[in-house]
Amino acid sequence: MGGERYTSMSIVDAKLSKLDRFLACSNFLVSFPSSSMTAHPQDLSDHCLITLKTGIGDFVPPPFKFYSSWQLLNGLDQVVFNAWNGFHGYGRADSQLAAKLRHLKDEIKNWRRFEHLKEKQDLLSMRDTISKLEKEAESRALSGMELST
């Protein structure tokens, strides 16, 4: 197993644990002899994400996923409206619809890339602020306004 040394931390007694088992049938290792596990850094949870790789390459494009939480972000409605109404196709109706949906998917992907960069910058800024406040808390008591930040 690669990656992080421990995969779980108990808040009660600050005990670190390593969960490093996967449930598999008896023929799994025969079918996938180059399998490996990786524990990723924990970010917002008390557990690490563990991935199992079978070593067999999958060269198909990843499926398009749409998360309902994106509907809460500003700008998605306008992206969908512009992409849907701005597309002009030709040919049979079913081909036009398929092309229109592909165009919509591409526009949403482009919008999401941009939004993801903004979210990443915001997260880094928040982590920076938290780190500064934690260092300040080592030397003095934080004010109520600093604690609410």
Question: Can you give the pLDDT of all 149 residues of the chain as single tens digits?
Answer: 565 555 555 555 556 666 656 677 878 878 887 777 777 776 666 666 777 787 766 666 778 889 999 999 999 999 999 999 999 988 899 999 999 999 999 999 999 999 999 999 999 999 898 888 878 777 787 787 777 76
How many other C-beta atoms lie within 10 A of the C-beta of residue 105? 13
Beta bridge partners of 67: none
For residue 43, the model assigns a pLDDT of 65
Contacts of 40 (CB under 8 A, 6+ apart): 3, 4, 48, 49, 50, 51
Report field, pTM of the whole predicted structure over 0.85:
no
For residue 123, the model assigns a pLDDT of 93
Question: Which residue is listed with tokens 């934690």?
Answer: 134
Q: Which two tokens stand for residue 14?
A: 């600050």
